[in-house]
Amino acid sequence: MKYLFRICVLLLFCTSCGTNKRVIDANAIAEKMSARKVARKHVAANFDKKTIAAKVKVKFDNGKTKENVSLTLRIVKDEIIWLKVTKFITILKVKITPTSVQYYSPFFKNYYEGNFLSLEKLFGTAINFEQLQNVLLGQAMQNVKKQKQELEIKNNAFVLSPKVQSDLFEVFYSVNPSHFKLEKQQIVNSIKHQQLDILYSNYKMIEGEVFPTKISIKAKQKKKYTNIGLTFKTVNFNTSVNTSFRIPKNYKRLNL
């Protein structure tokens, strides 16, 4: 679990073209609809700006350690996720691309370079750049249009789940009936008694985009747990973002 904070840190109302518009309606009702239509609307609600620049407050608690840190987040959509974690001083810098994962710590004087296979070992399941990006954008980690979905309505939300679940884990996606972004995504491994819940408790209309400004990540594994809260303080889109990254000399290389 000691790596989960690092991984989640990596993780860690809208108008569209033409006459179609998406808005945030707190009184929207999840009325009867086909699973296929809900899946299509969710995919269509995906973020469509080129860059994101944000300041984020992060709360971390695993029962043994509690930390509050600041996070600078820069995303070039589908290309780069860049992060800087600070608490008075810089603790960690991270750069993720579709093919690589890099970070270094000026505090610990160490660094890591690898690919998504190392993250797959830590998660116990395949994960890629797009899935990490989707977690931050309020989108399902899997493409819900590529599999046939079951649909239930629970707590005024559309709950999608694959008709054929994986042998390793089950996934569930709660979709908001107003803007069709996620309210929650859940991954459950009953055999290993593991559960990951990612909750989106607040969305705001920012520069024409429905964007999640409060994300809670809750991981449980038998008697252990890790909770991470992300609160976006400032968010800007389509600005010039600096994603330069260079590992200093004489830092110790880590092997995960």
Domains and CATH numbers, the chain: 4-12+27-236 (2.50.20.10)
As a whole number of angstroms, the distance between CA 70 and CA 192 comes to: 33
What pLDDT, on a 0 to 100 scale, did the predictor assign at position 21? 43
For residue 52, the one-letter residue type is I
| DSSP bridge partners of 81 | 75, 96
Closest CA relative to residue 182, chosen from 71, 39, 77: 39
In three-state secondary structure terms, 37 is helix
pLDDT along the chain (256 residues), means of 10: 46 34 79 96 95 97 93 97 95 94 94 79 67 95 94 97 90 97 94 91 95 94 90 98 95 88
What pLDDT, on a 0 to 100 scale, did the predictor assign at position 25? 87
CB atoms within 10 A of CB 20: 8
Write down the residue that tokens 């899997």 correspond to. 142
The pTM of this model reads: 0.86
Closest CA relative to residue 205, chosen from 155, 158, 138: 138
Q: How many Cα atoms are found within 13 Å in the side-chain-facing hemisphere of 133?
A: 23
In three-state secondary structure terms, 251 is coil
Residues in the chain: 256
Enter the tokens of residue 83. Answer: 């992060």
As a whole number of angstroms, the distance between CA 50 and CA 37 comes to: 26
Write down the residue that tokens 């559960």 correspond to. 195
What pLDDT, on a 0 to 100 scale, did the predictor assign at position 8? 47
